[in-house]
Amino acid sequence: MLGKLAVRNVKRSAKDYVIYFITVVLAFSFLFAFNLLGSSSEVLELSDVMNNFAIVMHVVNIFILFVVCFLINYTIKFMFSKRSLEFGTYLLLGIKKKQISNLFTLENVLLGLLTLPLAIFVGYILSLLMSFIITGLFELESIVHITFSIEAVLLLFVYFAFIYVFVLFLARRRIRKVKIYDLLYLEKKNEEKQFRKNKVRNVSFFVSLGLGILAMALFFQEFHRLGVDPSMATVLFCIVLIIFSIYGVVITLADFLLKVVLKNKKLKYQKDYLFLARTFSSKVKTMSFTLGTISVLITFTLIALNLSSLFKAMFDYQLELSAPYDISVTEIDENEIPLYLDFIKEHYTIEEEFVYHGYTESNRNVSKVLGELGGWREYDQVVKLSDYNKLLELKGDKPLQLEQDEYLIHATREFEDILTNTSSIQEIILPNDEVLKLKDVVTDGYTYAWGTGYGFLLVVPDDAVEGLAVESTNLIVDTKEETTEEFAKVFERLLVPDICEEEDDGYTVCYSLANVTVRGNVEATNNGFITIVSFVCFYIAFIFISVVGTILAIQGLSDSSKYKYRYQVLSKLGVKESELDKTIFRQLFVFFLFPVIYPIIISFFTVFSLNHLFQFVLTTDTVYILYYFINLFVFLLIYIIYFLTTYFGFKRNIGDSQGGGFFAR
Amino acid sequence: MSVLKLENVKKYYGVKNNITKAVDGISFQVDEGEFVAIMGASGSGKTTLLNCISTIDNVTSGHIYVGREDITEIKEDDMADFRRENLGFIFQDFNLLDTLSIEENISLSLIINHTDVNEMDKRVLDIASKLGISDVLKKFPYEVSGGQKQRCACARALITHPKLILADEPTGALDSKSSRMLLETMRDMNEHLGATILMVTHDTFSASFCKRVLFLKDGKIFNEILRGDKSRKEFFDEIIDVLTLLGGDTENVR
């Protein structure tokens, strides 16, 4: 009989159960999507190689598990409160608590099992969609392959069992402890004041804020020290601090704001502030922990998005730094050039080939300044302006102009400070007695393809190289097709050895002075690690955004019946429908805005600190700000979609009642 | 023989400096076959008192005996059995389960008691015909009128032959015609089926159907009147007089 009752109840409260069902399906599909990522061979391989990466994946896994657990617990609590009156009646009629909790358990397990196949399906589609977006929109190589895996399914079952055992244990304990009185009058209950004393609240607020600042400072310290690897322990400690801080701030802040609004009569009675403030703070009181979790998730989302773009930017910069041209061979033997070209022609269509000379500047005007920082070369390398401009043009940069008595230094960013602050290079004398004034030190767009072992390049007017010894001959080739890793391997074998040395074990090892760089090869070597990390970060960010949006949307919609009544009262008091709409908009807007504010601040400072790690491998040291805002924009875009969906859904739910069922409550 | 006996029952709410004495030392007893009303203005403690008697709420101090058993001492685990065997409930908002038909709602406690199916059907039909709801048995609560719902609640309360039926403003959500019908039903239940009923109400008309009325004010018993051989009209006037004396809300004086 109880079983029959359960089935009927599920049928009758189908509308509420739809919300429950969708939440559970989504929650498990997010979990499954993450499992799929974790079981993809690329990620597994990377975890094998990189210890830290494996740790990060585990931490994220635990966190997602925790959030899903929390989400399901939340929905089960929600269903319980919806049916509190029913359970109260059962108790009154003499059904034992144990029977009721068995009934409730059975119901939830059955429903949960029903959600699993759907969750697997949705999760799989979701993961495909996400990898499609990531590879398409963010132009990442599709190097991580998400495939359906039985392992991920099994893992999902394990997680499912774990979560349900845990959550239902909590639910059963709740039922055991609940008083029949509370069940019958649960709906009419007001939210309790969380902090009986304002002082406690104020202190908690500032302590939480302090923890956040402390965490940020520690984090900054950790990444500010150049050349020292940040310790994983400190970083984890900072993360824990940040989580505590976010929960604390979010929980106390709403109460704090409410106090401000209520204290200030002018503010209190202006427009619909009173209604908004009360609604909002009651909301925060009932779901302060949820909002805290959401804020933590948003923080992680923003950081993950930024990490992802920093990694991607790092990859792009590395590529430009070492291989801006399809094929480049430095210090080549001039006679061998046709040989190389013929070989390249067998594989690719040559769009453009360019040979230029590097000249010797034996006075070493610049490397003397750099001292040990500079390369291991005995000369400074000089190129003609016309050659230099051609080099720039092939890279897709704009050509430069020089006066007859000017020269230019193009160097890596590390040298910028020293070179711009040294007066001795303001005017230099070349070995051929040409006197040149420094026009500028350029750092953007330097590439090692212009010669290894220097870190800088002197550009002089074409006439000024007269009398200088030719130091090297270099070949640059622009091919129509993309070069590949395989080609690079064969091509390198072509090089004629220049120096041979006998090793201790009797083998002879030969080197070539020439230096070959094939873009496709560099791309492939760098690609693996960075792209996977970047991809994983994006993927996690998307899962988090989905979780956040789902929680907020469901929260907003689930208790719209409660608000229906409140808005009916407002409407009866003579508030126009357009004004009601505005109030609804504001109410939801505040609700969605609130959990985003603190994470934006926290994540910005985190990225600011992280930038110290990345700035030397990025095009400029402030480019992270641009990335930050682009990522924030991407996040907000998705967030706003969730917001609007909730808004229209909410309005429809409220609107249902304004027609016929005016007194229907 | 007394079915219900209260000894100095108190129920306090709040903390330290802000205590509400909802029920403040009430003692009385209800004998078998009585139909008693508890009246009082809103906030006088009627519902709290009823909640305490119906084991929905705990008392702060004092004892409540139902039959020989002290319900303030019953363990949580045995409470369900006790309620099922001794008490019947009628609420202002019916508290019927939407998912069950009227028939199933009525038989719910019997199902829980594992009563024989044939016996169950017989009893449901019997009680339904007595309360005049035989023709709506197959319907669901949302398909029938408020009066019918409340009579269904009565049937549910009656079917286990409880020692005591507790009713909280049973006419609160009904129109006057349905109210009258319900009260007549309850009187019949009391007179012909031998049910002992304790009803909380603030409605004089409802109270005039009872045999005895207790008046509460600020958590204490203020007065008590018996109907005796008086007509319902005379009793009604008498109740009004007491309410005027009670000086509560004028809304109680019609």
Task: For A393-444, write each residue's pLDDT tens digit.
Answer: 888 888 888 888 888 888 887 777 788 887 777 888 888 888 888 888 888 7
Structural contact between residues A304 and A540, judged by C-beta atoms closer than 8 angstroms = yes
Confidence tier at A633 by pLDDT (50, 70, 90): very high
Query: Residues B162-187: what's their mean pLDDT?
Result: 86
A residues 116-155 closer than 8 Å to B (CB): none
Instruction: Report ipTM for this prediction.
Output: 0.73
Instruction: Say what percent of chain A tops pLDDT 90.
Output: 6
Give CA–CA dist A339/A332, Å, rounded. Answer: 11
Rounded to the nearest angstrom, the minimum Cα separation between B118 and chain A is 16
Packing angle of the helix pair B146-158, B176-192 (nearest 10 deg): 20
Q: What is the predicted pLDDT for the residue at A499?
A: 67
Residue A665 CB partners (closer than 8 Å, separation 6+): A564, A565, A568
Q: What is the predicted pLDDT for the residue at A661?
A: 33
Residue of A nearest to B47 (CA): A181
B169: left (phi over 0), alpha (psi -120 to 50) or beta: left
Q: What is the predicted pLDDT for the residue at A166?
A: 92
Rounded to the nearest angstrom, the minimum Cα separation between A204 and chain B is 24
Q: What is the DSSP letter of A557?
A: H
Give CA–CA dist A604/A592, Å, rounded. Answer: 19
Confidence tier at A251 by pLDDT (50, 70, 90): confident
Using CB atoms within 10 A of its CB, is residue B48 exposed (0-12), middle (13-18) or buried (19+)? buried
Strands A380-384 and B87-90: unpaired
**Of the listed ranges A46-55, A213-222, A309-318, B107-116, the one predicted with least confidence:** A46-55
Residue B57 CB partners (closer than 8 Å, separation 6+): A179, A181, B11, B48, B51
B residues 3-32 closer than 8 Å to A (CB): none
Task: For B45-93, write each residue's pLDDT tens digit.
Answer: 888 898 888 888 888 899 999 888 898 888 877 888 888 888 888 888 7
Query: Residues A600-613: what's their mean pLDDT?
Result: 86
B residues 32-51 closer than 8 Å to A (CB): 51
**Of the listed ranges A279-293, A576-590, B27-41, B207-221, the one predicted with least confidence:** A279-293
Task: For A323-378, write each residue's pLDDT tens digit.
Answer: 888 888 877 777 778 878 888 888 888 888 888 888 888 777 777 777 766 666 77
Query: Residues A521-549: what's their mean pLDDT?
Result: 79
Task: For B83-129, write each residue's pLDDT tens digit.
Answer: 888 888 888 877 787 777 888 888 877 777 777 888 888 888 988 88
CA distances from A445 to A377, A410, A641 (A): 21, 9, 39
The answer on pLDDT for B213 being more than 90 is: yes
Quick one: CA torsion of A385, A388, A393, A394, rounded to 10 degrees? 150
Distance of CA A522 to the CA centre of its chain: 25
Nearest to B166 by CA among B6, B1, B21: B6
CA distances from A154 to A35, A39, A148, A160 (A): 10, 11, 12, 10
Give CA–CA dist A155/A157, Å, rounded. Answer: 5
Give CA–CA dist A638/A297, Å, rounded. Answer: 14
Domain ranges of chain B: 2-252
Q: Is A478 helix (H, G, I), strand (E, B) or coil?
A: strand
On the CB side of A462, how many CA atoms lie within 13 Å of its CA?
7
Give CA–CA dist A193/B3, Å, rounded. Answer: 42
Total residues belonging to chain A:
665
Mean pLDDT, all residues of chain A: 80
Nearest by CB: B83 against A8, A92, A184:
A92
Chain B positions in Cβ-Cβ contact with residue A179 (cut-off 8 Å): 57-58
Strands A470-479 and A327-330: antiparallel
- Cα angle A480, A482, A485; round to 5: 140
A residues 59-98 closer than 8 Å to B (CB): 85-86, 88-89, 91-97
B2-252: CATH, from 3.40.190.10, 3.40.190.100, 2.170.150.70, 3.40.50.300: 3.40.50.300
Confidence tier at A527 by pLDDT (50, 70, 90): low
Give CA–CA dist A97/A178, Å, rounded. Answer: 9
Q: Do B109 and A11 touch (CB under 8 A)?
A: no
Give CA–CA dist A85/A184, Å, rounded. Answer: 5
Chain A positions in Cβ-Cβ contact with residue B58 (cut-off 8 Å): 179
The answer on pLDDT for A265 being more than 80 is: no
Q: Do A93 and B108 touch (CB under 8 A)?
A: yes
Which of the residues A93, A107, A184 would you substitute to probe the B interface, choosing the one with the greatest number of B C-beta atoms within 10 Å?
A93
Q: Do A94 and B54 touch (CB under 8 A)?
A: no
Task: For A303-318, write each residue's pLDDT tens digit.
Answer: 888 888 888 888 878 7
Residue of A nearest to B57 (CA): A181
Give CA–CA dist A335/A654, Å, rounded. Answer: 83
Give CA–CA dist A440/A411, Å, rounded. Answer: 11
Q: Is the dihedral of CA A518, A521, A522, A527 positive or negative?
A: positive
The 3-class secondary structure across A178-202, one letter per residue, is: CCHHHHHHHHHCCCCCCCCCHHHHH
Q: What is the predicted pLDDT for the residue at B9?
A: 92
Task: For B148-159, write each residue's pLDDT tens digit.
Answer: 888 888 888 888
Give CA–CA dist A30/A127, Å, rounded. Answer: 9
Give CA–CA dist A206/A200, Å, rounded. Answer: 10
Residue of A nearest to B157 (CA): A93
Beta bridge partners of residue A477, listed in sequence order = A327, A353
Rounded to the nearest angstrom, the minimum Cα separation between B179 and chain A is 21
Structural contact between residues A36 and A152, judged by C-beta atoms closer than 8 angstroms = yes
Q: Do A94 and B99 touch (CB under 8 A)?
A: no
Rounded to the nearest angstrom, the minimum Cα separation between A538 and chain B is 46
Beta bridge partners of residue A437, listed in sequence order = A406, A427
Q: What is the predicted pLDDT for the residue at B10?
A: 92
Give CA–CA dist A81/A75, Å, rounded. Answer: 10
Residue B229 CB partners (closer than 8 Å, separation 6+): none
Q: Is B54 helix (H, G, I), strand (E, B) or coil?
A: coil
Q: What is the predicted pLDDT for the residue at A664?
A: 31
Give CA–CA dist A443/A445, Å, rounded. Answer: 6
CB atoms under 10 Å from CB of A117, counted, come to 11
Task: For A443-491, write each residue's pLDDT tens digit.
Answer: 877 887 777 667 788 888 888 878 888 888 888 888 888 887 777 777 7
Q: What is the predicted pLDDT for the residue at A448?
A: 77
Confidence tier at B30 by pLDDT (50, 70, 90): very high
Element holding A473 (H helix, E strand): strand A470-479
Nearest to A637 by CA among A581, A596, A606: A596
Q: Do B99 and A85 touch (CB under 8 A)?
A: no
The answer on pLDDT for B253 being more than 60 is: no
**A5 touches B at CB < 8 Å:** yes
Query: Residues A204-225: what's their mean pLDDT?
Result: 85
Q: In what order do the strands lie in the sheet with B164-168?
A: B87-90, B164-168, B197-200, B35-39, B212-217, B220-226
CA distances from A170 to A173, A287, B59 (A): 5, 17, 28
Structural contact between residues A175 and A100, judged by C-beta atoms closer than 8 angstroms = yes
Rounded to the nearest angstrom, the minimum Cα separation between A260 and chain B is 26
Q: What is the predicted pLDDT for the residue at A577?
A: 79
Q: What is the predicted pLDDT for the residue at A665?
A: 30
Highest mean pLDDT among A162-166, A428-432, A590-594, B245-249: A162-166
Structural contact between residues B155 and B182, judged by C-beta atoms closer than 8 angstroms = no
Beta bridge partners of residue A427, listed in sequence order = A437
Chain B positions in Cβ-Cβ contact with residue A11 (cut-off 8 Å): 99
Query: Residues A602-630: what's their mean pLDDT?
Result: 82
Structural contact between residues B86 and B155, judged by C-beta atoms closer than 8 angstroms = no
Which structure tokens are listed for A200?
Answer: 């406690």
Structural contact between residues A297 and A544, judged by C-beta atoms closer than 8 angstroms = yes
Which structure tokens are listed for B186?
Answer: 């309850």
**Of the listed ranges A159-168, A199-208, A419-428, the one predicted with least confidence:** A419-428
Strands A350-361 and A435-442: unpaired
Q: What is the predicted pLDDT for the residue at A188?
A: 57
CA distances from B206 to A261, A549, B200, B239, B254 (A): 47, 53, 9, 11, 13
Distance of CA B125 to the CA centre of its chain: 23
Domain ranges of chain A: 1-189, 327-481
